[in-house]
């Protein structure tokens, strides 16, 4: 063999070895998905033919031909067969354990009258021992088809409820979570009936209201912070029941295509539970948790400790939740002008504004996002003022802090552009408009409704994203209902024609972003989730039909076909 020939063969062998090694080093997918429309929520390629994942990360998104290059013998293949896929949906404001407990306790969300509440409690009484507490949530008097004969300030009284549960204390939270209904036994345990009969005042609560009849006796309705008068007497739940509620909440999320959850206000016991669940590999949901702001000892401890940003992206704590007013349904939302249907009443400031500013400053100093609940226009204005004061006081710490206002339901027109100007994110639950708008006009009147309620498009056009959600268990977790409300501005019964204040509708693209990439942005997580992009987490939601193209009146028919979390199928219909 000549020297020239030897050199040629040596080069050929080297080239073959190089390509052989390259082939061996080429990554292979654990999962390949194709066969339907895949919306990426990625501006560089809005739809793709296929997605390949490796373990819990997206390996490739693009054409099917290119995706198949990552296919190996062990690759699992999912053929969508015409179904539609998006990034995994993110519940942008909810109460995770409340979701689980709604499945364990009395769920009154679908009750349409006081009598139905009484009937549900009467059945529950048959299943418990005398003296045991009966708890539940979900009733909403403004959604009832008929009202009882006896009412005070538009609410029912306890007499009928008390008559069927004389030995069992009953405490039923309003759907909004901002009011509650108690029977005589519960009030007796709290000592409230005795105080009323003896003429002792003792029923005044700062930031709340004990509703009373003409004789000064409690009617059973406890608004805002007054709920604690009863709630503090309810025995603490067990660890076993907490674990069950957690597992039920995870399963409910998977059924609804939810892979991420912004948990709006948790305390130390819930933190410990979540850490236990993660340690036992049961944290099959990505929780972005807000510390409950009324617990000063808790938040002071976390200020010293600093944010906990989970490298596994399962349980992160880097925000503080403040409850600053109530809800429109209970007339607890804090308004600039009196309620149209209750003259002289302006709602409740449930947290001192001085504390809001203090928390806003502490958040900047210690690296925590602040998320303040505000529904009424005064609450929104006051919080924006306190945020702005903190930003002005500490200008060197205001880089990308992403403070939020949770709900931002009713705004004074002058405050709408301030969200974008201050970089404050509105976390708004579109389904609230669908549920509340028919009666909210009674609370606010037409002018305030049209100029400042549920101002989605005005906020988006000002240049600030919206984080969507349901506020579960205030509303059902179903993201399809909230998506429909976002794009239609109608009730879930399809009324009215054209929608309420149609100029504020979201486009379908905006609505999808509000449940994916913009929701991720609201939690500083847009670089790891929220779009189908190489390198991001492999969380996907698959639908039976294309909710981006079906006629509007067919959107609510959309079913979740499959949920993929961390690269694995966790739910299949």
State whether the Cα torsion 123-124-130-133 is positive or negative: negative
- The stretch 164-183 carries a mean pLDDT of 92
pLDDT tens string 534-555: 999 999 999 999 999 999 999 9
CB-CB contact of 483 with 514 (8 Å): no
Which of the four pLDDT bands, split at 50, 70 and 90, describes residue 149?
confident
- CATH 3.10.310.70-classified regions of the chain: 107-231
- The stretch 161-182 carries a mean pLDDT of 92
pLDDT tens string 118-130: 999 999 898 888 9
**What is the spatial distance between Cα 290 and Cα 431, in angstroms, rounded to a whole number?**
22
Q: How far is CA 477 from the centre of its chain?
A: 8
Query: CA 492, 507, 421: angle at the middle one, nearest 5?
Result: 110
pLDDT tens string 396-419: 999 899 999 999 999 999 999 999
Helix or strand run (H / E) with residue 53? strand 47-54
**What is the topology classification, in CATH, of domain 22-82+532-573?**
Urease, subunit C; domain 1 (2.30.40)
Strands lying side by side in the sheet with 404-407: 89-94, 258-266, 286-292, 315-323, 369-374, 404-407, 425-427
- CATH 2.30.40.10-classified regions of the chain: 22-82+532-573
pLDDT tens string 208-266: 889 988 888 899 999 888 999 999 999 988 999 999 999 999 999 999 999 999 999 99
**What is the spatial distance between Cα 423 and Cα 401, in angstroms, rounded to a whole number?**
8
**What is the spatial distance between Cα 64 and Cα 485, in angstroms, rounded to a whole number?**
34
Phi, psi of 11 (to 5 degrees): -65, -40
Give the residue among 64, 56, 58 at the shortest CA–CA distance from 40. Answer: 58
Instruction: Please provide the DSSP assignment of 74-102 as one string.
Output: T-EEEE-TT-EEEEPEEEEEE-HHHHHHH
pTM of the model: 0.85
Q: What is the pLDDT of residue 193?
A: 66
Q: What is the pLDDT of residue 73?
A: 94
Instruction: Please provide the DSSP assignment of 287-303 as one string.
Output: EEEEEETT-HHHHHHHH
pLDDT tens string 315-335: 999 999 999 999 998 899 999
Give the residue among 477, 157, 178 at the shortest CA–CA distance from 331. Answer: 178
**What is the topology classification, in CATH, of domain 107-231?**
Diaminopimelate Epimerase; Chain A, domain 1 (3.10.310)
Q: What is the pLDDT of residue 10?
A: 52
CB-CB contact of 66 with 76 (8 Å): no
**What is the spatial distance between Cα 521 and Cα 511, in angstroms, rounded to a whole number?**
14
């Amino acid at each position: 063999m000549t020297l020239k020939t030897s050199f040629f063969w040596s080069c050929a062998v080297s080239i073959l070895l190089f390509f052989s090694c390259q082939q061996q080093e080429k990554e292979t997918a654990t999962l390949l998905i194709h066969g339907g429309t895949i919306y990426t929520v990625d501006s560089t390629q809005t739809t793709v033919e296929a997605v390949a994942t490796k373990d819990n990360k997206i390996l490739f998104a693009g054409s099917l031909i290119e995706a198949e290059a990552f296919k190996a013998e062990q690759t699992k293949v999912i053929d969508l067969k015409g179904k539609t896929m998006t990034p995994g949906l993110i519940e942008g404001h909810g109460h995770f354990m409340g979701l689980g407990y709604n499945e364990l306790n009395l769920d009154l969300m679908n009750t349409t009258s006081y009598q139905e509440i009484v009937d549900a409690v009467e059945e529950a009484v048959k299943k418990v021992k005398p003296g045991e507490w009966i708890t539940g949530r979900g009733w909403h008097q403004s959604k009832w088809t008929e009202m009882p004969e006896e009412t005070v300030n538009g609410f029912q009284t306890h007499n009928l409820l008390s008559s069927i549960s004389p030995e069992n204390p009953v405490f039923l939270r309003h759907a909004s979570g901002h009011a509650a209904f108690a029977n005589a036994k519960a009030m007796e345990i709290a000592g409230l009936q005795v105080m009323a009969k003896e003429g002792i005042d003792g029923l005044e609560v700062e930031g709340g209201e004990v509703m009373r009849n003409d004789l000064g006796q409690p009617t059973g309705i406890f608004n805002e912070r007054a709920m604690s008068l009863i709630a503090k007497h309810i025995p603490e739940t067990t660890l076993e029941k907490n674990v069950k509620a957690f597992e039920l909440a995870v399963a409910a999320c998977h059924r609804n295509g939810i892979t991420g959850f912004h948990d709006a206000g948790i305390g130390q016991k819930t933190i410990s539970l979540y850490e236990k669940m993660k340690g036992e590999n049961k944290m099959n949901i990505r929780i972005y948790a807000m510390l409950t702001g009324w617990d000063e000892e808790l938040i002071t401890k976390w200020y010293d400790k600093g944010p906990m940003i989970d490298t596994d992206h399962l349980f992160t704590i880097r925000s503080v939740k403040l409850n600053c007013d109530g809800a429109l349904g209970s007339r607890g939302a804090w308004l600039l002008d009196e309620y149209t249907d209750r003259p002289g009443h302006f709602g409740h400031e449930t947290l001192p504004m001085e504390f809001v500013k203090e928390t806003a400053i502490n958040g900047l100093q210690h690296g925590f996002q602040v998320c303040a609940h505000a529904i009424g226009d005064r609450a929104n204005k006051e919080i924006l003022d306190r945020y702005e004061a903190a930003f002005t006081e500490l200008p060197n710490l205001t880089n990308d802090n992403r403070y939020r206002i949770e709900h931002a339901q009713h705004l004074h027109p002058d405050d709408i552009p301030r969200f974008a100007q201050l970089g404050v994110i509105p976390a708004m639950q579109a389904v609230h408009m669908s549920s509340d708008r028919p009666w909210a006009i009674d609370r606010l009147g037409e002018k305030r409704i049209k100029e400042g309620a549920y101002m989605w498009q005005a906020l988006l056009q000002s240049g600030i994203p919206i984080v969507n959600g349901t506020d579960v268990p205030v509303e059902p977790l179903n993201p399809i209902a909230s998506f429909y409300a976002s794009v239609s501005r109608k009730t879930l019964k399809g009324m009215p024609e054209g929608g309420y204040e149609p100029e504020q509708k979201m486009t379908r693209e905006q609505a999808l972003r509000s449940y994916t990439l913009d929701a991720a942005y609201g939690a500083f997580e847009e670089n790891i989730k929220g779009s189908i992009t190489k390198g991001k987490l492999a969380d996907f939601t698959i639908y039976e039909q294309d909710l981006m193209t079906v006629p509007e009146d067919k959107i609510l028919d959309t079913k979740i076909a499959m949920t993929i979390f961390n690269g694995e199928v966790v739910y299949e219909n």
